């Protein structure tokens, strides 16, 4: 059975209806008409009394009824597990110490580090705006959580986006922001006297804006999300050979992949003190100018390409003597990595 609003030309009525099958076809039968749904709400009041009288036969409805009569206090289930795991990662990666170091001489009246931590955790657990973060965090058992308000998250995000100064190199894209400074300091906390960067992996993707978002920052371009009608940004991420992220860059949506490689390489050398490295990226970064520049600067590179469609690769690799060396054999099950063979030329 269920309740149904029956609309007529002059009024609407609230009915209790039973649904049953007759000769294999569904049929509805009106059991009771509770009354007219008008401005006085008489039918709805009748419905309330019926439901409350039957609540004693249902444990869940009884609790709801008692809560409505203020006989049961409101309780909230606080989530604890994921927060503790991420808190440990936040500390072990050096992010917390880096933020506290940068904030030690700032006169904020709230805990900026806590606001950033909660905002980052919110992006991971339930992505959304700062407004949704403020409501989400109320059910999270995080130290310092109860002392924050919505405007604190706005101010913390604004501090992260502060521009520090312009880059002095020939980078044609973006200036230096607070996030660049944080990336460099986190890198310094994780290295020792003998550690450095030997190999980096670089790739890009695109992010698009919904609605009117992105009119100031975004531009139209090739969308990897298949949203060419939206303003977008290009995001580039650099990861070291241990799988740790080093830095992230963002450019207008009209930026092509091939134009991002050399600026990222130059920034890695200047920001992280890299003297020798090997860059690994996909075929979207390939151009004759890029390869010439990397070789001129003595930077090793591994770049993926379609061998049979690239004349230089086809002539130097496919036609060269010698056997391929099997790095990964053929798959035995679908979860295995793709087979891989290499040849030194």
pLDDT score for 29: 86
Which 3 state secondary structure label does DSSP give 163? strand
Question: Quick one: tokens of 83?
Answer: 């927060």
Confidence of residue 22 (pLDDT cuts 50, 70, 90): confident
User: What is the Cα–Cα distance from 181 to 230, expressed in whole angstroms?
Assistant: 31
* 324 DSSP assignment: P
Report yes or no: 238 and 280 within 8 Å, Cβ to Cβ: no
pLDDT score for 106: 86
Least confident range of 33-37, 152-156, 192-196, 228-232: 192-196
Tell me the CB-side half-sphere exposure of residue 220, using CA atoms within 13 A: 3
Q: Which residue has the higher pLDDT, 109 or 199?
A: 109
pLDDT score for 39: 58
b/e burial code for range 160-171 (CB count within 10 A of at least 16 → b): eeeeeeebeeeb
Q: Using the predicted structure, report yes or no on whether residue 65 has a pLDDT greater than 60.
A: no
Torsion of CA 338, 343, 344, 345, to 10 degrees: -130
User: What is the Cα–Cα distance from 232 to 188, expressed in whole angstroms?
Assistant: 32
Q: Using the predicted structure, report yes or no on whether residue 273 has a pLDDT greater than 80.
A: no
In angstroms, how far apart are the furthest CA atoms of the chain?
92
Q: Using the predicted structure, report yes or no on whether residue 81 has a pLDDT greater than 80.
A: no
pLDDT score for 100: 92
Q: Using the predicted structure, report yes or no on whether residue 228 has a pLDDT greater than 80.
A: yes
Report yes or no: 251 and 234 within 8 Å, Cβ to Cβ: yes
User: What is the Cα–Cα distance from 301 to 33, expressed in whole angstroms?
Assistant: 78
pLDDT score for 215: 74
User: What is the Cα–Cα distance from 24 to 26, expressed in whole angstroms?
Assistant: 7
User: What percent of the chain lies above the pLDDT cut of 90?
Assistant: 7
Query: Domains along the chain?
Result: 2-68 (no CATH), 81-160 (no CATH), 197-304 (3.90.350.10)
- In this prediction, residues 225-239 reach a mean pLDDT of 84
Report yes or no: 245 and 225 within 8 Å, Cβ to Cβ: no
Q: Which residue has the higher pLDDT, 211 or 254?
A: 254
State the chain's mean pLDDT as an integer.
Answer: 78
pLDDT score for 101: 92
Least confident range of 86-95, 153-162, 297-306: 297-306
Number of other CB atoms surrounding residue 70 within 10 Å: 8
Q: Which of 11, 142, 13, 164 is nearest to 83 (CA)?
A: 142
Q: Using the predicted structure, report yes or no on whether residue 72 has a pLDDT greater than 60.
A: no
């Amino acid at each position: 059975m269920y309740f149904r609003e029956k609309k007529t030309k002059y009024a609407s009525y609230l009915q209790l209806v039973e649904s049953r099958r007759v000769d294999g076809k569904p049929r509805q039968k009106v059991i009771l008409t509770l009354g007219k749904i008008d401005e006085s709400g008489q039918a709805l009041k009748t419905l309330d009394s019926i439901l409350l009288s039957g609540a004693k036969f249902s444990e869940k409805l009884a609790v709801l009824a008692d809560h409505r009569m203020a006989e049961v206090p409101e309780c909230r289930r606080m989530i604890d597990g994921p927060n503790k795991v991420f808190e440990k990662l936040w500390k072990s990666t050096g992010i917390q110490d880096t933020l506290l170091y940068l904030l030690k001489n700032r006169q904020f009246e709230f805990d900026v580090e806590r606001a950033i931590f909660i905002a980052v955790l919110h992006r991971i657990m339930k992505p959304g705006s700062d407004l949704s973060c403020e409501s989400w965090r109320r059910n999270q058992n995080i130290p310092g959580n109860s002392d924050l308000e919505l405007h604190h998250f706005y101010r913390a995000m604004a501090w992260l986006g502060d521009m520090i100064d312009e880059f002095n190199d020939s980078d044609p894209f973006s200036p230096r922001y607070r996030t660049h400074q944080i990336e460099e300091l986190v890198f310094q906390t994780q290295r020792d006297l003998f550690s450095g960067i030997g190999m980096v992996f670089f790739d890009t993707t695109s992010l698009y804006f919904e609605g009117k978002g992105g009119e100031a920052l975004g531009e139209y371009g090739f969308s990897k999300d298949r949203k060419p009608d939206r303003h977008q940004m290009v995001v580039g991420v650099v990861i070291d050979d241990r799988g740790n992220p080093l830095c992230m860059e963002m450019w207008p949506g009209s930026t092509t992949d091939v134009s991002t490689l050399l600026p990222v390489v130059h920034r890695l050398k200047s920001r992280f003190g890299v003297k020798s490295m090997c860059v690994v990226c996909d075929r979207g970064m390939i151009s004759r100018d890029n390869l010439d520049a990397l070789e001129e600067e003595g930077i090793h590179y591994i770049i993926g390409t379609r061998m049979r469609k690239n004349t230089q690769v086809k002539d130097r690799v496919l036609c060269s003597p010698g056997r391929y060396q099997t790095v990964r054999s053929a798959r035995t099950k679908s979860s295995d990595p793709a087979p891989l063979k290499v040849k030194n030329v």
